[in-house]
Amino acid sequence: MSAGPEEIAAAVVRLRERGLVAFPTETVYGLGALAIDERAVRRVFELKGRPDANPLIVHVSGEEMARRVAAAWPEDASRLAAAFWPGPLTVVVDRADAIPAVVAGGGPSVAVRCPSHPLTLALIETLGEPIVGPSANRSGFVSPTSASHVEEEFRDEIARGEVMVLDGGACRAGIESTVVSLVTPEPTILRPGVIGASEIARVLGRPVVERAGSEHAAAPMSSPGRMASHYAPRTRAILADRRELPRAITAAEGPVALIALAGPALPAAHRVIQMPADAIGYASSLYRALRDADASHAILIVIEKPPSGGPDAEIWRAIHDRLSRATAPRG
55 binding partner (options ligand AMP, Mg ion, none; Cβ < 5 to 8 Å by kind): ligand AMP
How far is 280 from 316, CA to CA, in rounded Å?
Answer: 9
Distance of CA 203 to the CA centre of its chain: 23
Burial category of 254 from C-beta neighbours within 10 Å (exposed 0-12, middle 13-18, buried 19 and up): exposed
- Residue 301 contacts ligand AMP per CB under 6 A: no
- The site partner of 190 among ligand AMP, Mg ion, none (C-beta below 5 to 8 Å per kind) is ligand AMP
Nearest alpha-carbon partner for 318 in 176, 146, 207: 176
Tell me the C-alpha distance between 243 and 260, whole Å: 12
> Which of 134, 187, 192, 306 is the binder for ligand AMP (CB under 6 A)?
134
User: Contact between 57 and ligand AMP (CB under 6 A)?
Assistant: yes
Considering the rule CB under 6 A, would residue 195 count as an interface residue with ligand AMP?
Answer: no
> Which residues, numbered 170-189, are part of the site for ligand AMP (CB under 6 A)?
176, 179, 181
When asked if residue 144 is in the footprint of ligand AMP (CB under 6 A), the reply is: no
List residues binding Mg ion (CB under 5 A). 135
Q: Does position 35 bind ligand AMP by CB under 6 A?
A: no
Helix or strand or coil: residue 132? strand
Of the pair 107, 267, the CB lying nearest ligand AMP is at: 107
Minimal distance, residue 181 CB to Mg ion, in Å: 18
User: Would you say 161 or 331 has its CB closer to ligand AMP?
Assistant: 331
Does 107 interact with ligand AMP (rule: CB under 6 A)?
Answer: yes
Determine the length of the chain.
331
Classified as helix, coil or strand, 103 is helix
Q: How far apart are CA 304 and CA 55, in angstroms?
A: 32
